Amino acid sequence: MSAYEVSVASVIGINVILAISLNLISGFCGQISLGHGAFFGAGAYAAALVMTKVGNAPLAVAAAVAAASLLGTVVGFASLRVRSDFLAVTTIGVNFLFIGFVRKQAWLGGEMGISAIPPSGLGALGNLGLILICACATVAFSVYVNQSWMGFAFRAVGEDETAARTLGIDPGAYKLAAFAIGTALAGLAGAFYTFFTQFITPDAFDFIFSVMLLAMVVIGGVGSTFGVLTAAIVLTLLPEAIRFVNDYRLLVFGGLMILMIRFAPGGLAGLARAALLRARPR
């Protein structure tokens, strides 16, 4: 594998973890989050700090997951108090606050970010292997959650919290769980990103990136693990494979989002399901 291919594969793996974890929060549990980039960033920065000060990779991963999950739980608490569209605004706010804060902190590298981060010790191929293993594990975990009673309860909470209560389900507890788990995974992706690039800047975690992640979820099919997996892979590869897409990335993503929502609200997964239904002999 060439260095370029390793690089692309690594980014795909990271995006898969990010998109699937966002799907857990916004797809399974119905809590629209437009700030997933902030948790990714929290993880990346935590890992970067650990690597530059201590140089211990496993510790960096642990710190990343903890930092992201902590921030995520705080936002999760917010979701208990505010309605869904207010929550979306809150998550946008969290994203802006995160970037706004990081930009001003000298110890976090300010606008320039943190560079010359020590390598993880696994080498590029080793990093890739780790990323791919975790991406697969994330997909498997997502499938598991969907089949489990947690996924069942998530769907209820996402659709109608009051009705969920009358079935004995505590919507607050589940929303918190969704945020805690989803953001922990985003933090994990953040650590991998830090190992991969060895140089992070605040702009990598901004609102636009959060929107692109949500685009992957929407285009893949909100709530569908395999739909979102496909979308994450395709939407990461497309800019690499097609020059036009790379130059007009936001145009393509935005345009696809609109087209999907307008004409195929179930996303790629919905289209696949409809196609299968038509293929079946009646």
Q: How far is the CB of 30 from other proteins (least distance, A)?
A: 8
Q: What are the distances in angstroms from CA 72 to CA 42, 47, 61, 187, 210? A: 10, 16, 16, 10, 14
Would you call 134 exposed, middle or buried from its count of C-beta atoms within 10 A (0-12, 13-18, 19+)? buried
Q: How far is the CB of 160 from other proteins (least distance, A)?
A: 6
CA–CA–CA angle 62, 68, 69 (5° rounding): 85
**Side chain identity, residue 79:** S
Closer of 13 and 270 to other proteins (Cβ): 270
Q: How far is the CB of 260 from other proteins (least distance, A)?
A: 8
| Whether 38 contacts 210, CB under 8 Å | yes
Q: How far apart are CA 232 and CA 215, in angstroms?
A: 9
Closer of 9 and 180 to other proteins (Cβ): 180
Q: How far is the CB of 13 from other proteins (least distance, A)?
A: 24
Closer of 42 and 131 to other proteins (Cβ): 42
| Whether 70 contacts 13, CB under 8 Å | no
The dihedrals phi and psi of 31, each to the nearest 5 degrees, come to -100, 100
Distance of CA 117 to the CA centre of its chain: 23
Closer of 60 and 215 to other proteins (Cβ): 215
Closer of 121 and 255 to other proteins (Cβ): 255
Q: How far is the CB of 101 from other proteins (least distance, A)?
A: 6
Closer of 4 and 263 to other proteins (Cβ): 263
Q: How far is the CB of 154 from other proteins (least distance, A)?
A: 9
Q: Which residues bind other proteins (CB under 8 A)?
A: 30, 32, 34, 78, 81-86, 88-90, 92-94, 96-97, 99-101, 103-104, 144-145, 147-150, 152-153, 155-156, 159-160, 162-171, 173-174, 176-177, 207-208, 211, 214-215, 218, 248-251, 253-258, 261-262, 265
Q: How far apart are CA 183 and CA 71, in angstroms?
A: 8
| Whether 43 contacts 189, CB under 8 Å | yes
